[in-house]
Amino acid sequence: MDADLRQKIYEYIEKKGLRKTVQREAIIQAAFSTVEHYTAEELIAMAQRIEPSVSRATVYRTLPLLVESGQLREIDLGKDHKTYDPNFVNRPHHNHLICTDCQKVVEFEDHYMETLEDCISKRLGFSPTSKSVRIEATCDKLKKFGACENKHG
């Protein structure tokens, strides 16, 4: 886990007058031990592997902290649950493309979109704080070869 990231989180926790607990420690450890997206439920499992006393409630209470601190991003992939993305610290401007064939999520960066976002917001009289771009798309491989990497069945 990135030392700088850890420091930023603890700075945030301290600034807020919050406390350092073994459960939080484990959740933070787990939250940034991967570059994969995960759900709250998955994070519970990951954190419990580090510290079995971590409960569902504490994870659900800690997730908003990590998001507020700016180190973790909550993204919407069109599912009925929230998804968390630990990669925004390293790549703050990336977006997501979701394959409608295999549900795979591909991250991509595009700097024109940043510029556009600024233009649009200014044109409308706003200052952008965050954006989310989600593109759903079909896999060209599937169409050509009848197969898609992750496609089941």
Partner DNA sequence: TTAAATGCAAATTATTTGCAGAAGC
Partner DNA sequence: GCTTCTGCAAATAATTTGCATTTAA
Return residues touching its own copies (CB under 8 A).
76, 78, 97, 99-100, 106, 108, 110, 112-113, 116-117, 120-121, 123-141, 143
How many C-beta neighbours within 10 Å does residue 134 have? 13
- Please say which residue, 30 or 139, places its beta carbon nearer to its own copies: 139
Contact pattern for DNA over residues 38 through 67, marking x by CB under 7 A: -xxx-----------xxxxxx-xxxxx---
Q: How far is the CB of 53 from its own copies (least distance, A)?
A: 29
Phi, psi of 107 (to 5 degrees): -90, 145
Contacts of 40-46 with CB under 8 Å at 24 or more apart are 40/81, 40/82, 40/84, 41/81, 43/84
Q: How many CA atoms lie within 13 A of 137 on its CB side?
A: 13
> 40 touches which of DNA, its own copies, none (CB within 5 to 8 A by kind)?
DNA
What tokens appear for 75 in the block? 């993204």
Phi, psi of 18 (to 5 degrees): -95, 170
> 39 touches which of DNA, its own copies, none (CB within 5 to 8 A by kind)?
DNA
- Please say which residue, 6 or 104, places its beta carbon nearer to its own copies: 104
**Binding window for DNA (CB under 7 A); candidates: 15-23, 29-37, 111-119, 145-153:** 15-23
Pairwise CA distance, residues 152 & 150, whole Å = 6
- Please say which residue, 18 or 120, places its beta carbon nearer to its own copies: 120
